[in-house]
Amino acid sequence: MVRWVLTAILLVLLTACGSAGLLPNNQLVKKAIALELSQTQQQLSQQLDLDFRGFEIKRLSIEQEQPLNIDSLPAFRVRGTYDLIIKLPKRRLTQPQKPFEVYLQIQQEGKTWRLLLPDKASKNTQPVWRSYLIQ
Asked if the structure places residue 90 within a domain, the reply is no
Comparing 3-12, 57-66, 120-129, the range with the smallest average pLDDT is 3-12
pLDDT (tens digit per residue) in 101-131: 999 999 888 889 999 998 876 666 777 899 9
Residue 3 above 60 pLDDT?
no
Asked if the structure places residue 39 within a domain, the reply is yes
Instruction: Check if the beta carbon of residue 29 is closer than 8 Å to that of residue 21.
Output: no
- Output the pLDDT for position 135: 83
Asked if the structure places residue 10 within a domain, the reply is no
Asked if the structure places residue 54 within a domain, the reply is no
Q: Total domain count for the chain?
A: 1
Asked if the structure places residue 93 within a domain, the reply is no
Asked if the structure places residue 91 within a domain, the reply is no
Asked if the structure places residue 74 within a domain, the reply is yes
Residue 43 above 50 pLDDT?
yes
Asked if the structure places residue 70 within a domain, the reply is yes
Q: What is the mean pLDDT of residues 22-46?
A: 88
- Output the pLDDT for position 114: 95
CA proximity to 73, closest of 22, 121, 31, 36? 22
Mind giving me the DSSP string for 47-77?
HHT----EEEEEEEEEEEEEEEEETTEEEEE
pTM for this prediction: 0.76
Determine which helix (DSSP H) or strand (DSSP E) holds 45, and give its type and residue range.
helix 26-48
- Output the pLDDT for position 27: 96
Q: Identify the domain containing residue 40 by its residue range.
A: 25-49+62-80+101-133
